[in-house]
Amino acid sequence: MERIVQRRFLIIIVTGLLAAVVLPACGQAPQASGKDTGTSSQAMAPMAWLPKAVQDAPTRVRSAYQFAVANPDALENVPCYCGCGAVGHTSNLSCYVQERKPGGEIVFADHALGCSLCVDISQEVMRMTGAGESPAAIRAAIVATYSKFGPGNQ
């Protein structure tokens, strides 16, 4: 009986130690190429502008939507390689924004909520934009890196 208690105690301690090491990393957004996305100095749309489903998404996805809304030219300049051209998307921006109405209302696309490739591309655009890269250099890097995944939508 004492051996069972000792074993349970050991399991509890090991589990606690693992949680202390692993859980802090879970709250951090993964960074493209291990570098900062550079979003701290970039325009980002307020969270309140985003639909509830986006607000509830992982940090990485939320920041991609915020960046897309505030920096449409940056994502409109680059293709997406997830195959979304088949559903009418014309750029990486289309994965986030379906339409901008004349009065300024944004109709969001929910595609990027479930597509990590779209988000990866956007995160890389955010990082490069934050680093001061030109739109042409960003587009060239995205094409070089992601074209291996399939045809682009531009």
Nearest Cα residue to 74 out of 61, 58, 93, 56: 93
Out of 20-24, 61-65, 98-102, pick the least confident: 20-24
- CA 66 – CA 49 distance, rounded (Å): 9
The reply to whether the predicted model has a pTM over 0.85 is no
List the structure tokens of 62: 């939320």
pLDDT at 4: 55
Spatial distance between the Cα atoms of 47 and 70, rounded to a whole number of angstroms: 11
List the chain domain ranges: 30-149
3-class state of residue 93 by DSSP: helix
Structure confidence at residue 91 (pLDDT): 97
Residue 24 has pLDDT above 50, yes or no: no
Side chain identity, residue 137 = A
Q: What is the pLDDT of residues 103-151, one digit of tens each?
A: 989 999 999 999 999 999 999 999 999 999 999 999 999 999 999 999 9
**Closest residue by Cα to residue 81 from 20, 7, 142:** 142
